[in-house]
Amino acid sequence: MAAPSLLNWRRVSSFTGPVPRARHGHRAVAIRELMIIFGGGNEGIADELHVYNTATNQWFLPAVRGDIPPGCAAHGFVCDGTRILVFGGMVEYGRYSNELYELQASRWLWKKVKPHPPPSGLPPCPRLGHSFSLYGNKCYLFGGLANESEDSNNNVPRYLNDFYELELQHGSGVVGWSIPVTKGVVPSPRESHTAVIYCKKDSGGPKMYVFGGMCGARLDDLWQLDLETMSWSKPETKGTVPLPRSLHTASIIGNKMYIFGGWVPHKGENTETSPHDCEWRCTSSFSYLNLDTTEWTTLVSDSQEDKKNSRPRPRAGHCAVAIGTRLYFWSGRDGYKKALNSQVCCKDLWYLDTEKPPAPSQVQLIKATTNSFHVKWDEVSTVEGYLLQLSTDLPYQAASSDSSAAPNMQGVRMDPHRQGSNNIVPNSINDTINSTKTEQPATKETSMKNKPDFKALTDSNAILYPSLASNASNHNSHVVDMLRKNEGPHTSANVGVLSSCLDVRTVIPETSVSSTVSSTQTMVTQQTIKTESSSTNGAVVKDETSLTTFSTKSEVDETYALPATKISRVETHATAMPFSKETPSNPVATMKAGERQWCDVGIFKNNTALVSQFYLLPKGKQSISKVGNADVPDYSLLKKQDLVPGTGYRFRVAAINGCGIGPFSKISEFKTCIPGFPGAPSAVRISKNVEGIHLSWEPPTSPSGNILEYSAYLAIRTAQIQDNPSQLVFMRIYCGLKTSCTVTAGQLANAHIDYTSRPAIVFRISAKNEKGYGPATQVRWLQGNNKKAPLN
């Protein structure tokens, strides 16, 4: 976590959709990038379900159906995958609930569930302000506040410290309540406390941590329950314990429990002498407890004033959600107006990055031309931009408008496709880069995720600093402001159902023969290809229902849709690049003895870039400007250099958030094209037949002359693959003019099952014209999660 003085809070000021009214006592959970809010109140209890998409800054009200629960406040709210459970809470003044509801967020379907009562004892009584925590297939209920009076208008509070366990059925439904027998001293009764569950890596079982709460006086005690032995204890802590509080939030990120806000005593009050009579106020203090060392760290103290409105103002009864390593805070109350007898509620939404972002996937090639690359990488959640760098072995020169340097064409190359009908082509560095005797086709892979944003792949790349990927003006703008401006609405369809995603990727490793590459995304429905996210190479195009193709017309990317076809379970998905290696996470391109020179392409809002030039960083002239807490060069002071044909370039990318620039990805290596070679075949389809499977494809969209033949390859089992699973060996199974072939059951029996992501058989198909073979389309045919033979 950043030092207290370096906390970089962000207030979300640009969003779309129906914003929920301000409230307190609500609860929130996260499902992927969605923050789901239910209940709470201010001038009445809210009963609607609100969803905020943190990726698109869009609020929406899903069309829920089924047994819709009544509005409630101070309830239990947990998330298990895409299932959400709601327990208890206040449904109206003085009347509390002990009912349990389940929401299937994949269909926005509510269902009232009735768990079996405990084998001995009574089920939980109606309550509010309890904690309700999930671990595995069980929820743990502790404490809360009950009303002893049967008359809701005559509230007689009773603080609780009872403990229940609720067993869940897999996917949907519950089994029943139980009352575990615990050891040790039980925490005192309380409500409006927090409870989180944490399990140390590689040691020990899960433990529940209870902090603070209210029992007539606010509390600052910390309790631990070992969920395996059911033993309560009070861990000894180091550091400054936060002030006694209730109505705060506790969120787990990594091994830290972050405590924010709540009601605390007024400055100078002695809560020990008169705990029931002292005055209380809201706070914006912010601390975390390292759950491995049990040491408290104060990030924002109660004494720190914020005159610049640079962080959330004091509040209680708010909600907090962790999405990745980012914390979101919304609404809550910041005081009490006695004259109006009402709460004053906040209307703001804030977030805070708690760690630098992880390394993105390797850079993936969508399209190459003679002097440019269209590249992409997997999105990293909750980031504000990406720093893209490249390196080449060419001598660096000042940029000029004339980039007509001719590639070195020396060396005689033999065509491996003519050496026999069953050529084995190792996927190795030597064979793909250095050999002048054989050629392996470059590889193109296609993969899809949900929710298209094709504009992001063409003209709305949201370059933050002036990048040479397009002719952006060289002014040094305020990157953080631009990042915030780019948080506006997207034409996204995720206001509907949390559905499965499609992942189609494109990868083209460097080869001794370069060619113009087209990126073709095969249209498949959710029934044909199942969701899989991956950090391997490939171009990700977000789409659930349409087939999108990037044309190979020399300088223009075009998109168009092809009709759907019913195919077998095919996943066009990337395999690992042979050029991968770990790289240091130094964002500044410096040159030491024996060290590679890395130059910036630019900083991008989105995870795609059209690269035709890059910046040179002269020694001793690295003017530094700020992106959040990240140091990056002032590009307006740097020279530029064009990409040249027939040249290899290495790429790496790092993500940026409020904590700075994260580590770089592994290295990818691509070559600019030599004109005249054919593009990759597209629209690959696989279907079963009597003999085995039928493999078909469409000709390249850019043949660059007459297609003389096609070759299809199958990854096969070898001892080499067993020793190094990432290095595939391919056998040619077809050579001819037809755009289809049959793969026999005998050939499939020798197929290698690739487990780099989901189990799959790997095919490659390439086209040849007068100049030679172009890039190959690679397809992964999903085989399920077992090791049965293909076609079973």
* 133-142, 161-170, 265-274, 595-604: segment of lowest average pLDDT: 265-274
Comparing 113 with 618, the larger pLDDT belongs to 113
* 119-128, 289-298, 694-703: segment of lowest average pLDDT: 694-703
Residue type, 692: G
3-state DSSP call for residue 455? helix
Comparing 193 with 442, the larger pLDDT belongs to 193
Place 354 in a pLDDT band, splitting at 50, 70 and 90: very high
Q: Which range, 231-245, 273-287, 412-426, has the best average confidence (pLDDT)?
A: 231-245
pLDDT at 464: 39
pLDDT at 443: 42
Place 309 in a pLDDT band, splitting at 50, 70 and 90: confident
pLDDT at 712: 96
Strands 772-782 and 443-449, sheet pairing: parallel
For the stretch 570-614, pLDDT in tens is 433 332 222 223 333 333 333 444 467 889 999 999 999 999 999
Nearest to 684 by CA among 500, 441, 453, 504: 504
Comparing 508 with 123, the larger pLDDT belongs to 123
Cα separation of 606 and 633, whole Å?
20
pLDDT at 700: 85
* Phi/psi of residue 135, nearest 5 degrees: -150, 125
Instruction: Tell me the average pLDDT across 721-744.
Output: 85
- Check pLDDT > 70 for residue 317: yes
Cα separation of 492 and 451, whole Å?
6
Secondary-structure breakdown of the chain: helix, strand, coil percentages, each rounded to the nearest 5: 5, 40, 55
Instruction: Tell me the average pLDDT across 503-516.
Output: 31
3-state DSSP call for residue 583? coil
Instruction: Tell me the average pLDDT across 684-698.
Output: 93
- Check pLDDT > 50 for residue 303: yes
Question: Which residues on adjacent β-strands are paired with residue 374?
Answer: 367, 610
Cα separation of 733 and 580, whole Å?
28
The mean pLDDT of the chain is 74
Instruction: Tell me the average pLDDT across 2-14.
Output: 75
pLDDT at 645: 84
pLDDT at 304: 80
Cα separation of 108 and 584, whole Å?
44
pLDDT at 365: 78
**pLDDT above 90: percentage of residues in the chain:** 50
pLDDT at 682: 82
Place 506 in a pLDDT band, splitting at 50, 70 and 90: very low
- Sheet containing 326-330: give its strands across: 9-11, 349-353, 326-330, 319-323
Are 136 and 117 in contact by the 8 Å Cβ rule? The answer is no
* DSSP character at residue 184: S
Cα separation of 540 and 375, whole Å?
10
> Which residues in 227-341 belong to E strands, given as ranges?
231-233, 249-253, 256-260, 263-265, 280-282, 286-290, 295-300, 319-323, 326-330, 333-337
Instruction: Tell me the average pLDDT across 754-781.
Output: 86
pLDDT at 499: 27
Nearest to 70 by CA among 106, 52, 96, 42: 96
pLDDT at 336: 58
Q: CA dist 279 to 271, 340, 576, Å? A: 9, 19, 61
0.75 exceeded by pTM: no
Comparing 637 with 254, the larger pLDDT belongs to 254
Comparing 615 with 150, the larger pLDDT belongs to 615
For the stretch 63-78, pLDDT in tens is 999 999 999 999 999 9
Are 64 and 496 in contact by the 8 Å Cβ rule? The answer is no
Place 788 in a pLDDT band, splitting at 50, 70 and 90: low
* 161-175, 273-287, 432-446, 692-706: segment of lowest average pLDDT: 432-446
| Residue 285: half-sphere exposure toward Cβ, Cα within 13 Å | 24
Cα separation of 615 and 677, whole Å?
29
Instruction: Tell me the average pLDDT across 300-308.
Output: 79
Are 60 and 40 in contact by the 8 Å Cβ rule? The answer is no
- As given in the structure block, the two tokens for residue 750 are 């020798």
Degrees (nearest 5) of the Cα angle 771, 776, 781? 160
Place 29 in a pLDDT band, splitting at 50, 70 and 90: very high
* Phi/psi of residue 417, nearest 5 degrees: -70, -15
pLDDT at 176: 97
Instruction: Tell me the average pLDDT across 631-646.
Output: 83
Q: What is the DSSP string of 336-352?
A: EETTTTEEEE---EEEE
Instruction: Tell me the average pLDDT across 740-763.
Output: 89
Instruction: Tell me the average pLDDT across 469-497.
Output: 31
* 19-23, 476-480, 550-554, 609-613: segment of lowest average pLDDT: 550-554
pLDDT at 302: 83
Instruction: Tell me the average pLDDT across 272-301.
Output: 84
For the stretch 428-455, pLDDT in tens is 322 322 222 223 333 434 333 333 232 2
pLDDT at 541: 24
Strands 326-330 and 319-323, sheet pairing: antiparallel
Place 482 in a pLDDT band, splitting at 50, 70 and 90: very low
pLDDT at 514: 27
pLDDT at 790: 62
Are 720 and 683 in contact by the 8 Å Cβ rule? The answer is no
Degrees (nearest 5) of the Cα angle 442, 446, 452? 145
In this structure, is the dihedral angle defined by the CA atoms of residues 179, 181, 183 and 186, taken in order, positive or negative? positive
In this structure, is the dihedral angle defined by the CA atoms of residues 388, 394, 400 and 404, taken in order, positive or negative? negative
Place 142 in a pLDDT band, splitting at 50, 70 and 90: very high
Comparing 418 with 145, the larger pLDDT belongs to 145
Backbone dihedral region of 143: left (phi > 0), alpha (psi from -120 to 50 degrees) or beta?
left
How many secondary structure helices (H) and strands (E) does the chain include? 4, 56
Place 133 in a pLDDT band, splitting at 50, 70 and 90: very high
Q: Which range, 552-556, 597-601, 661-665, has the best average confidence (pLDDT)?
A: 661-665
pLDDT at 308: 73
Place 789 in a pLDDT band, splitting at 50, 70 and 90: low
3-state secondary structure 647-678: CEEEEEEEEEECCEEEEECCCEEEECCCCCCC
pLDDT at 50: 98
